[in-house]
Structure 1
Amino acid sequence: MRAISFYICILPTKLTMVMRLLLTAFFILTLGTVFSQEHPIPSLKYDDLTKSYQQIDSNASAVVVDEWGKTELEVVEADHALRVVHTYAVRIKILKKEGVDYANFQIPLYAFGNTFETIADIKGKTYNLRNTGISESEMNKQSIFLEKTSPFLHLAKFTLPQVEEGSIIDVQYRIFSPDVLNFRTWQFQTDIPKIHSAYTAIMPATYQYRVVLRGPYKLTDTKTEVLRSHFLLNGVRNDCSKITYVMDSVPAFLEEEHMLASKNYKSAVYFELEQYYLTNGSKVRVTKEWRDVDRELLTEKSFGGQLKKEDLFQNLLPTWIATASTDLEKAMAIYDHLKRTIRWNQVYGKYAQFGIKESLEQHKGNIGDINLALITALNAASLPAYPVLVSTRENGIPNNLHPVISDFNYVIASVTIDGKSYFLDASEAATPFGELPLRCINEQGRIIYSKKSSEWIPLKNEQPSLVSFTFLGQLDTAYNLTGKLTISYKGLDALKKRNEIASFNSQEEYFERMQEKIPNIGVKKSSLQNLDSLKDFLYEQLEIEMPMDEYVQNGILHINPIFINRTLKNPFNLNERFYPVDLGAQRHVTHNVNIRVPEGFIIHSSPKNSAMKLPEDAARFMYQSSIDKDRFVLRQVVSLNKAIYSVDEYFHLKEFFSRVIQQQQQELVITGTR
């Protein structure tokens, strides 16, 4: 992933210009910026509709022919306020029937305080070839509607008419935002290829931005100019900088398994406001030092203010830790009791939503309520615990160059006992002490020690993810394979399985659903072991029966001994992957198979043994079988010995799984008579 940073800062030559520049909604404005609704996407030509574009990407269902955007500030005289205006226009060619979905638009509009972003001037047209001419279908305004998704998010939705394979659609709109301190991120790369994408940012002279280009692709062109006297404010004209970023021939971003949020890796330009000037000439730094953020967090009522409420646990702790004799046992008891006391309402947050007191009384809360309560309870028991700010995997990797508090959407606890630190998240009943759910494993978090001290720490699970399949069975003379199948889970796989089981009304309902997923295997009896004992392996025990007669020809049975959880498809298929493979933890999958055949049957041949490993023991594979008279024994182990594989290791990992799949296609051959 490339990240190129540079700074935009054009300062006025006269201090009076700085002092008079409008920066917030409370200053008096006299004249706004003139906004042009024109955009540089050229008029449609006949050749645009007849051109196939398939040579760009034969797998693409649609392609962005041209895309243009512009963001600038606009003065609203009636409200004596500033707003950010974002203009967008795009032309898309529909290449395949599946690409028709790209005619459905959902534009997010966010809340800033009590004010929402708004959208206006939405226009859409569909162009089709009809006989020898071009047919135009304009979108009706009645096709546009606003969905109020949450108190923080609205969605503007519309669908263009008459869209089919071969159509070209044109869309344009403007978004008005009250968030004057932020420019919008421009995504050059999406899930379909783009021929041309251009973005223009017009910024006041007294704003200093750090501009970051992320992703693997370079800009085709960058144009910079100064717009002299762009604002007329209180009789004084002020300058702005105008920068246009262009990227041509942008490939589609292809997502694959085991990755962090795609926005970490897509080619895009980001704007990070570092400082600006007030009308009195004073400078305001937006980018702060971590000690400033630490102090603000720990003095914030919904964060540090909650950590002071240790008295709320004085009456609870004696009962919670009554049977604990060591500090570790005390911490585990507090963790377990808190999970049962406050139920997660499925809302993320680094701040408390209700506060510890109300969450304890109402037995519900968001992530901030739960884990800040956990930290406070641990400290009340004289166990040193600290908050750790986290950005979840889907939220993106946090900025580690300087504090951007909005990057974090989650908080967990860190407690140190006998010199060892444990990460804790008490939001889910199935999460064992000292382990984190996958959503929290996102490179690193920021641990806040005090108002003057914090540091980055890696987020990882020491416990590998373990899955084992053990089958002990026998083949009868009617070619029925019966026996006992035991599946064990530990680590992230155990957490996932326990949560899956909990999603059903009963264990019986869960096993019924399992039977539907494996129709070729009859389950005669089933049970679970250690479902609530989180420190132990979770076991599924199944008595199964599999008719094998359909695999018999001329008295010869061909059976694949890896009959469950066999790798059928390589999870890594890209020609080139520009982002790491992130599993969240090391992972080991084991198969143990033991099959006895009846008298008169002969195990004619078994799969060949195989073993391989990647450089530096990054991964191992072992497939070993043997025949002992009437018994076939197989042991297979797939060990991924790293939680994260770099881009340079991708090809080796891809080839590794390709060979695993080939090996698992081998069959056991048994001869006999009925």
Structure 2
Amino acid sequence: MKPLITFLLLCIFHSTFSQIQPYGQIDTASLKLSECPFEKNAGAMVLFDKGELTRYDYSIELKRHKRIKILNSSGLSEGDIKLQYISKGAAEDIDIISAQTINLTNGKIEYTPVDKKRIYTQKIDKYRKVVIITFPAVKVGSVIEFVYKWSTPFLYYPPWIFQEDIPVLYSEIITKFRYGVYYLSKVKQPFVKAGVVVTDKTTGIKKVWAMANVPSYKEEPFAPTDENMVQQIVFFKGNYTTWNEISRRVIGDVDFGKQLQVSLPGTDSILTIVAKLNNETDKIEAVFNYVKNKMLWDNTDDWFTRAGLKKAWNKNTGNSTEINLILFTLLKKAGVEGFPVLVSTPDNGIVEPNYPSILQFNKTVICVPADSIKHYVLDATNKHGDYKIIPYDILNTYGLGINTDIKNPVKELEKNAGQLFSIQSVVPASKAINNISTITADGKVEGIVTIKDYGYNRESSLKFKKLHEDKYADYLKEDNNDLEIKSVSFDNTDIDTLPLIQNINYKVNLVQSDGGYLYLYANLFSGFTTNPFIADVRNSDIELGFPKTNMINTVYTIPKELKIESLPKNLYVRAEDGSVSLKRFAAVEDNRLYVRYTVTLHHHYFKKDQYTGVKEFFKKMFEILNEPVVIQKSN
């Protein structure tokens, strides 16, 4: 009986609390609620979140009513609400209609309205502002609620976010569109209402989407882009009906296809140089490097041009599509056949094949077929890119091929024009770590480590270096307080055809025990020091990007005062499905200690139902990588 009673209680709870109550009307049960029924440790939860999205003739309006319950002290920060919007050019506006705090004091419900002085707007940058609501009298047990109106004079439909960083008991969006609007649901759990049509005599036809018991969003390591996003529904104007039609419209667009008809002055010198090259790959490399080095990316991704090719060329600056259409133009003049490809970067989300819309794309790259199987995907905005390697930010995504010449299409484009195709690479990346060091009698190690990064490893290391150059030494330490980075230098940063080389001069104190033993951990600077797969449950698939091999080769000179007490065994382990393997070799010869590891990732994508096997193998792998060499001091 007990499971049945629990089930019935949850049903009663859901039916009671999922009802959206009018502003200012609340029951004592909501105020007495002390924990989230489906996420026990949550500091706060959304009781309900209701939006009404309406399209008028030339504007869009969203009216929203939200109620949040503070469950414990960790949720008190929810008493400050921040609503961000685009302020430049009056693109968006937010008007706070009502806001209040509700408390239950001695069995009596108390309402504390938010004073207008506690509602203020702050500037974030020249494009954005944020409205901040600071609720009064917020304490554990409080409920805060607010109603506001978001509006835009443009036909832009904001997405409705069902999932937040706190659990959501009930979330509902009602749309009032007359025509021409499609939707794309990016959810992982079933709707309670999925596009339910409601006919109203006054407002006409409405559609309702709703979700209940939505868990808080928790980012998981190595989640695919589409899964590493909150659950939401996206609305877009459905002016195109098929991918093929989108492709045709794009080539006729004044900010895309028409731009390919403009002339670029001052290109004769590079074209003369390229004309003397006999090999097509040499021509591709020459033009790619020329554009990559000449043009500066303005950090803007759009599927269309903004300033136009000619202005971007003259200013040496442009968005991603301007730069890559310039690349396409020069390649074509050099006699290299290729075609533009519309793509979506990770921050724009994964393209959904079943919902044709130009809004799913935010960038253009160039595809050049090498033969019937191999092709190059070029992005000249990436200063560290190699023309032979597919750009990492669009790897394992979809692209839409655009035919720029209807009469004479590129042969390889014929099967991709107006169709989505998968952008994938099977080229493995590799990292080679060579560590030549000396161990002193008092338990210190000093040495030089050389790291060679090939393929995608080269690109990711260069990007990380650029972002964290001032703290790169701290990154190498990986929270090891006994490790000192004396110097770091880089070679081949500007030579794309060569591996990136990192030269690290380091010093580390070995871990010592009271019994006179030293513990040497040879797994340094590999990136395999912390296991990312330790959670008991996994909600998303695992995407590790690309096949890769990491080789760690260490040679230590040992003084006569020290003796190897215990050496890790030589072994080879492999996951049951052959997806990952690890080889370890350890030996002592004269006064030299040799330890080598080879980690090979044969597969880069794992379904979440494979997580148990992935977790078990990675646990074993990290135990092997972090098993020390035990050294005894002489008495």
Q: TM (normalized to structure 2)?
A: 0.85
Whether the 8 Å contact between 2:240 and 2:246 is mirrored in structure 1 is no
Q: CA separation of 1:444/1:185 partners in 2, compared to 1, >3 Å: closer, same or farther? A: same
Q: Which has the higher mean CA deviation after the structures are superposed, 388-397 or 574-583?
A: 574-583
> Which residues of 2 match residues 224-235 of structure 1 at below 5 A?
224=196, 226-227=198-199, 229-230=201-202
User: Are the structure 2 counterparts of residues 110 and 399 from structure 1 closer, same or farther at C-alpha, using a change threshold of 3 Å?
Assistant: farther
Give the aligned residue type for 1:619: V
Partner of 1:195: 169
Separation (CA, whole Å) in 1 of partners of 2:316 and 2:254: 20
Residue of structure 2 aligned with 1:579, choices 527, 536, 540: 540
Q: 1:458 maps to which residue? A: 422
How many angstroms apart in 1 are the aligned matches of 2:58 and 2:448? Answer: 71
Counterpart in the other structure of 2:68 = 92
Q: What CA distance in whole angstroms lies between the structure 2 residues aligned with 1:653 and 1:597?
A: 37
Post-superposition Cα deviations, 1:398-449, rounded to whole Å, max 9, x if no partner, equal 2322430011111111112355310111112211223244322352111112
- Equivalence map 1:409-488=2 (5 Å): 409-417=362-370, 420-441=374-395, 443-450=397-404, 453-488=417-452
| Cα separation, partners in 2 of 1:72 and 1:451, compared to 1, 3 Å | farther
Aligned-pair CA distance for 1:151? 7.4
Give the corresponding residue for 2:188.
216
Give distance in 1, aligned partners of 2:107 and 2:269.
81
Deviations 1:172-203, CA, capped at 9 Å, x for gaps: 212234455x6554332223212222333334
Q: Does 2:204 match 1:259? A: no
What do residues 59-93 of structure 1 show as CA deviations (whole Å, max 9, x unaligned)? 4232112222222345xxxxxx4644322112112
SS at match of 1:616: coil
* Cross-structure match for 1:666: 627
**Does the 8 Å contact 1:62/1:99 carry over to 2?**
yes
Gaps spanning 5+ residues in structure 2: where? 1-19, 407-416
Would the alpha carbon gap of residues 609 and 365 (structure 1) be closer, same or farther in structure 2, given more than 3 Å must change? same
SS of structure 2 residue aligned to 1:60? coil
Percent of residue pairs identical: 22
Query: CA distance change for structure 1 residues 466 and 158 in 2, over 3 Å: closer, same or farther?
Result: farther
Q: CA–CA distance in 2 between the matches of 1:96 and 1:612?
A: 47
1:628-643 aligned within 5 A: 628-643=589-604
CA distance in 2, matches of 1:613, 1:421: 32
- Choose from 475, 481, 499 the match for 1:537: 499
Q: Is the 8 A contact 2:526 2:550 kept in 1?
A: no
Offset of residue 171 of structure 1? 1.8
Q: Deviations over 1:445-481 (max 9, x none)?
A: 1111236633322223444332232212222223222
Structure 2 residue 31 is matched with structure 1 residue 49: yes
Equivalent residue for 1:13?
Answer: none
Q: Quick check: 1:122 aligned with 2:75? A: no
- Which amino acid in structure 2 is aligned with residue 251 of structure 1? P
Give the direction of change, closer, same or farther, for the CA distance of 1:522–1:568 in structure 2 (3 Å limit): closer
Q: Which amino acid aligns with 1:85?
A: E
Q: 1:384 aligns with which of 329, 334, 337?
A: 337
Corresponding pairs, count: 605
The residue number in structure 2 matching 1:520 is: 482
Moved more, 536-545 or 314-323: 314-323
SS at match of 1:572: coil
SS in 2 for 1:435: coil
Secondary structure, aligned partner of 2:403: strand
CA separation in 2, counterparts of 1:564 and 1:598? 24
Match of 2:145 among 170, 174, 182: 170
Shift in CA distance, 143/466, structure 1 to aligned 2, threshold 3 Å: farther
Deviation, 1:382, is 0.6
Does the residue aligned with 1:243 lie in a helix, a strand or coil? Answer: strand
The structure in which a higher percent of residues are strand is 1
Q: Give the RMSD, CA atoms, in angstroms.
A: 3.3
Q: Which of 531, 555, 566 is residue 570 of structure 1 equivalent to? A: 531
Distance 1:510 1:177, change over 3 A: closer
1:605 aligns with 2:566: yes
Conserved 8 A contact 1:70-1:200: yes
8 Å CA contact retained: 2:51, 2:174: yes
Give the residue type in structure 2 aligned to 1:241.
I
| Other structure's SS at 1:375 match | helix
CA contact (8 A) 1:566 1:664 kept: no
> Residue by residue, what CA displacement relative to the aligned partner does 1:202-232 show, whole Å, maximum 9, x if unpaired?
343xx2655554423122346946535436x
Q: Does residue 359 of the first structure (1) align with residue 343 of the second (2)?
A: no
Q: Secondary structure at the match of 1:242?
A: strand
**Once the 2 structures are TM-superposed, how far is the Cα of residue 139 of structure 1 from its aligned partner?**
2.0
Deviation of residue 353 (structure 1)? 2.3
- Structure-2 separation of matches of 1:516 and 1:575: 24
Contact 1:263–1:396 (CA under 8 A) maintained in structure 2:
no
Matched AA of 1:68? K
2:577 partner SS: helix
Note closer, same or farther for the CA distance 1:360–1:451 as it changes in structure 2 (3 Å cut): closer
Following superposition, the deviation at residue 376 of structure 1 comes to 0.7
Contact map agreement 1:41 1:67 (CA 8 A) in 2: no
Larger mean Cα displacement after TM superposition, 324-333 or 219-228 = 219-228
Q: TM-score, normalised by structure 1?
A: 0.80
For 2:576 and 2:105, how far apart are their aligned partners in 1?
Answer: 59
Q: Any idea what SS the aligned residue of 2:248 has?
A: helix
2-structure distance, mates of 1:39, 1:83 = 28
Superimposed CA distance per residue, residues 600-623 of structure 1 (whole angstroms, 9 cap, x where no aligned partner): 432111124443323432222223
Residue identity in the other structure for 1:421: H
CA distance in 2, matches of 1:201, 1:542: 58
Q: Please list every run of 5 or more consecutive structure 1 residues that lacks an aligned counterpart in the other structure.
A: 1-37, 75-80, 232-239, 275-285
Show the counterpart of 2:516: 555
CA distance in 2: counterparts of 1:187 and 1:512, whole angstroms: 37
